[in-house]
Chain A
Amino acid sequence: MFQIRIHGRGGQGVVTAAEMLSIAAFLEGKDAQAFPSFGSERMGAPVVAFCRISEKEIRSREPILNPDAVIIQDKTVIESARAFDGIVDNGFVLINSPADIETNLGNARVKCIGATEIALEQVGRPIPNAVLLGSFAALTGVIKIDSVIKAINTKFSGKIAEKNVKAAQVAYERTLGEV
């Protein structure tokens, strides 16, 4: 089983990111579970969402305490949300940040990418979720970029979908090149 925990703030599409991740995995024939941390998700408040991906039926529903990967959509919540707590040895960390960030996470595989910037460029909105999923696909190989694209198209339509797909692809290519 591969467990992903996504941190961010309300309004940034954290929950949608987890859902799209689960849809991408589902499209590849896997079992996937996605759910939010059920706080009051007001705009700007810290939000956590979870996604589990497995070849077998997923039965447990506890919050993800030992993530294989952590995605940070908003770096300002890292400390207060204790975003890296419990991450497995050699786990993945993907941070929405144009500049590299010091994480002190030992042998974690950390990648920083300016997802908000790419989103603004490609989509015209500062919502980094689809972008980060593109990067995630390249970073971890857990899901394919084609699945990410299909998942984006289930959640969005028209021009917004097209642009988010483009943005995800840009992130994917860039991360692939750098990993």
Chain B
Amino acid sequence: MLYQLEGSQAVARAIALCRPEVVCAYPITPQTHIVEGVGELVRNGQLKNCQYLNVESEMGAISVAIGSEAAGVRSYTATSSQGLLYMMEAVYNASGLELPIVMTLGNRAIGSPLNIWNDHTDAMSARDAGWLMMFAENNQEAADLHIQAFKIAETLKCPIMVCMDGFILTHAYEKVDLPEQEEVDEFLPPYKPAFSLDPESPCAIGAMVPTTEFMEVRYLAHLRQLEAKTVIERIGKEFGAKFKRNSGGLIRTYHTEGAETVIVAMGSVLGSIKDTVDDLNQTSGGNKYGVMSVVSYRPFPDEQIREALKNAKRVIVVEKAFALGRGGILSREIELALKGLDIEIITVVAGLGGRVITKTMLAEAFQQTKNKLIFLGLREDVIQQEYKTVLDERRA
């Protein structure tokens, strides 16, 4: 059924449809509305049979979920930015313990400097922790991905982060089609843990693993990430067949057939990118530009990306994170996927700390040919001035 909802509320309702049994909440902008929304659904009885805990920190939040998932019940929490970092050792812990926790990451920049607005730096900090990570392009997909996420995570015994851009998606009102409870129940059966804390059948979870076995444990986790590509694709298709919507999966392409230049990105900026590309194609009267969305960031779908981009001459990666002193992060992974192909790769770093991204700025960046690394909308005058001060201080 169709609703006009704030993104966070759409996600809250999607979570409720998945019947989690333990939800823990710690506030941090911009995901707070999500956990508030779930809390309200528990209190007004719409989400039945669920324990809702107000915890003392993000470390508390993820830890409660670790405990409840280990005891065999479907568990959920949400965080952003600083909160993700605060819980980071537990993030690694959860994936190491093979607990299929679902967590929303309301993407937000990481300080210092303090900044509450959107970018993908927080997601990047967790990319090697062994979690699955998917990025929603709009609020419809944000809702859909959470429903798929529980199924994907529980199939693989691997925790999953559903990333949605803070404020841009979490706080935006949009039309969302939410399925009925029966439909979700058919798609997502009750959680059947492979192991759990059970007095009838005791087991020990979280042993120390010595030098003689640790590498093997890690390698098995690596294989799980690789296997995840198949599972994500399959569950995406299952979802599409049942709910008649193209959500999830590994990547999505838009007018990439015969496109000379393909823009690659993750998350909400894809909307503006598609509009820009349509405008550019219209004025140039052809199909010069295409767009490829990376939906599954972890596992990183190398083969699918290579297949989609192999005929392009130029790939422009628009990314909302940056490795200081190095360059783009997503760009390097795209580059690796396209290794050996004669394709020019350009990095456009955009939207850091919530910096506005306009179609005009994007169009200009897509059409320029001089630079391989652009910071969209960077205020050159400010940089010149500040850097001069730095140099002067050093000389003195």
Pairwise interchain contact A35-B272, C-beta atoms closer than 8 A: no
CA distance A36 to B173 in the complex (A): 10
Closest B residue to A40 by beta carbon equals B116
Count of B interface residues, CB-CB < 8 Å: 24
The answer to whether B4 and A61 touch across the interface, beta carbons within 8 angstroms, is no
Q: How far is the CA of A35 from the CA of B357 in the complex (A)?
A: 15
Query: Which residue from B2, B6, B172 sits with its C-beta under 8 Å from A61?
Result: B172
Contact of A32 among B4, B168, B269, B272 (CB under 8 A): B4
- Which size class do A's interface residues fall under? 20 to 34
Within 8 Å of chain A (Cβ to Cβ): is B378? no
Pick the most buried of A36, A38, A58, A65: most chain B CB atoms within 10 A of its CB: A38
Answer whether residue A59 sits at the interface, using C-beta atoms and an 8 A cutoff: yes
**A6 CB, min distance to chain B CBs, angstroms:** 13
Closest CB in chain A relative to B168 CB, distance in Å:
6
Asked if A23 is at the interface (CB within 8 A of a chain B CB), the reply is: yes
Does B190 sit within 8 A of A, measured CB to CB? no
- A146 interface residue, CB < 8 Å from B? no
- CB-based contact B358/A35 at 8 Å: no
**A61 B271 Cβ-Cβ under 8 A:** yes
In contact, A59 and B359 (Cβ under 8 angstroms):
no
CA distance in complex: A62, B355 (Å): 10
Select B4's contact among A22, A59, A65, beta carbons within 8 Å: A22
Chain B contact residues, majority secondary structure: mixed
Chain A residue at smallest Cβ distance from B165: A61
How does the 8 Å CB contact mask read for B166-182 relative to A, with 1 for contact and 0 for none?
01100111110000000
For residue A22, which residues in chain B have a CB less than 8 angstroms away from its CB? Answer: 4, 173-174
Known A23-B173, A38-B354; contact A59-B168, beta-carbon cutoff 8 A: no
Q: Are B274 and A59 in contact (CB under 8 A)?
A: yes
- As a 0/1 sequence over residues 29 to 49 of chain A, the CB contacts with chain B under 8 angstroms (1 = contact) are 001111110100000000000
Scan B127-141; emit 1 where CB is below 8 A from any A CB, else 0: 000000000001000
Instruction: Name the interface residues of B261-279: CB closer than 8 Å to any CB of A.
Output: 268-272, 274-275
Q: Does A80 contact B (CB under 8 A)?
A: no
CA gap between A65 and B357 in the complex, in Å: 12
Question: B-facing mask of A117-160, CB < 8 A → 1, else 0?
Answer: 00000000000000000000000000000000000000000000
Flag if B167 contacts A34 (CB, 8 Å): no
Q: Is B356 an interface residue when CB atoms closer than 8 A count as contact?
A: yes
Number of cross-chain contacts by CB at 8 Å: 59
Contact of B173 with A60 in the complex, beta carbons under 8 Å: no
Given known contacts A59-B275, A62-B272, A33 and B173 CB-to-CB distance under 8 angstroms: yes
The reply to whether A62 and B357 form a contact with Cβ atoms under 8 Å apart is yes
A114 beta carbon closer than 8 Å to chain B:
no
In the bound complex, CA of A5 to CA of B275 (Å): 20
Chain A contacts for B359, CB-based, 8 A: 60, 62
How many whole Å from A52's CB to the nearest CB in chain B?
A: 10
Taken together as a complex, chains A and B put the C-alpha atoms of A59 and B252 apart, in Å, by 15
B117 lies within 8 A of chain A by Cβ: yes
Of the candidates A23, A35, A59, the one whose C-beta lies within 8 Å of that of B171 is A35
Question: Smallest Cβ distance from B299 to chain A, in angstroms?
Answer: 27
Those of A1-34 within 8 Å (CB) of chain B = 18-19, 22-23, 26-27, 31-34
Residues of A within 8 A of B269 (CB): 61
Could you tell me the distance in whole angstroms from the C-beta of B256 to the nearest C-beta in chain A?
17
> What's the Cα separation between A122 and B272 when bound, in Å?
41
The answer to whether A38 and B171 touch (CB under 8 A), given A60-B275, A60-B359, is yes
> Known contacts A38-B117, A61-B271, A61-B272: does B172 contact A33 (CB below 8 Å)?
yes
Task: Tell me the complex Cα distance, A26–B176, Å.
Answer: 10
Cβ–Cβ < 8 Å partners of B138 in chain A: 59
**Which positions 90-107 of chain A face chain B at CB distance < 8 Å?**
none
CA of A178 to CA of B138, assembled, Å: 41
The 9 A-B pairs at the shortest CB distance, nearest first, are namely A59-B271, A26-B4, A34-B173, A35-B172, A62-B358, A60-B272, A60-B275, A22-B173, A38-B167
Chain A residues with a Cβ under 8 A of chain B: 18-19, 22-23, 26-27, 31-36, 38, 58-63, 65
Q: List 10 A-B contacts (CB under 8 A).
A: A19-B6, A27-B4, A34-B173, A35-B173, A60-B271, A60-B272, A60-B359, A61-B172, A62-B272, A62-B359
Interface residues of B (CB under 8 A from A): 2, 4, 6, 117, 138, 167-168, 171-175, 268-272, 274-275, 354, 356-359
12 A-B pairs besides A22-B173, A22-B174 with CB distance below 8 A are A32-B4, A34-B173, A35-B167, A35-B171, A36-B171, A59-B138, A60-B275, A61-B269, A62-B356, A62-B358, A63-B358, A65-B358
